[in-house]
Amino acid sequence: MRDVIIACDFPNAEETLRFLDKFKDEERKPFVKIGMELYYGAGNEIVRELKRRGHKIFLDLKLHDIPNTVKKAMRVLSALDVDMTNVHAGGGVAMMRAAIEGLTREDGSRPRLIAVTQLTSTSPETLKNELLIDTPMNDTIARYALNAREAGLDGVVCSPLEGALVKEACGPEFMTVTPGIRFADAKADDQCRVTTPARAREIGSDYIVVGRPITAAEDPVAAYRRCVAEFVGE
């Protein structure tokens, strides 16, 4: 099931569609991630359009609210028929259970649901001094992942470097979706802890989320194919 997810971090539908037009003749339709910027800018219409074009969609909205609100919001999102969406594990087990309930359709089907454990932008200092959490970062990540599994979620978003600890805590079937991917010969941009697609595969990531190495490449299709070759091995 390994796959490459392209982070479509564009401000509007036009730029997104112009970018994805480049992949029209690709045999493998890219799995795409729609994040807050594009969703807040282009709404449900861009989700439906990408669905019509045959893309699988990870709707990355990171919900975090009281259980009842999350459940109702997830009910709305489940009608959009995306393939994957997410919440913050920091909302707790009851909130994650409510999210699953809201996402599950009458026929029992639902999109995959994954949780953000700790944002990779949260440093150990922030955890301790601002959030007043004295537990070491990796222990909080393992516990949040276990909470997500207990609530019935399918996996977590985490850095590839944390993937092994999540698999160890939650088992090999529990999915890890990992951003922070860079080619060995490229710059890291603002990402601190990066990994190549090939290394992410070795570590056991199930999906890699790749933005700028593909979206800002001179030849995005070639960059996508390189990611697929390194990570999926086709």
Nearer to ligand C5P, 35 or 155 (CB): 35
> Of residues 16, 20, 35, 67, which one binds ligand C5P by CB under 6 A?
35
Which range of residues in 16-24, 48-56, 75-83, 175-183 is near ligand C5P by CB under 6 A?
175-183
> Of residues 120, 176, 195, 196, which one binds ligand C5P by CB under 6 A?
120
- Euclidean distance between CA atoms 169 and 17, whole angstroms: 40
Site residue total, ligand C5P (CB under 6 A): 16
209 binds ligand C5P (CB under 6 A): yes
Sheet strands (E) in the chain: 3-7, 31-34, 57-63, 84-88, 112-116, 155-157, 175-178, 207-210
9 binds ligand C5P (CB under 6 A): yes
147 binds ligand C5P (CB under 6 A): no
175 binds ligand C5P (CB under 6 A): no
206 binds ligand C5P (CB under 6 A): no
DSSP state of 30: P
- Taking the CA atoms of residue 88, residue 81, residue 227 and residue 209 in that order, the dihedral angle to the nearest 10 degrees is -10
Nearer to ligand C5P, 94 or 219 (CB): 219
Under 8 Å between Cβ of 55 and 31? yes
208 binds ligand C5P (CB under 6 A): no
Question: Is 167 part of the annotated catalytic residue set?
Answer: no
> Of residues 80, 123, 191, 217, which one binds ligand C5P by CB under 6 A?
191
Nearer to ligand C5P, 95 or 181 (CB): 181
Helices 137-150 + 93-103 axis angle, to 10: 40
Direct distance between the N- and C-terminal alpha carbons of the chain, in angstroms, rounded to an integer: 12
Burial tier of 57 (Cβ tally within 10 Å: 0-12, 13-18, 19+): buried
184 binds ligand C5P (CB under 6 A): no
DSSP state of 176: E
Nearer to ligand C5P, 78 or 215 (CB): 215
Under 8 Å between Cβ of 182 and 213? yes
Instruction: Write out the residues near ligand C5P by the rule CB under 6 A.
Output: 7, 9, 35, 119-120, 157, 179-181, 189, 191, 209-213
Residues acting as catalytic residues: 62
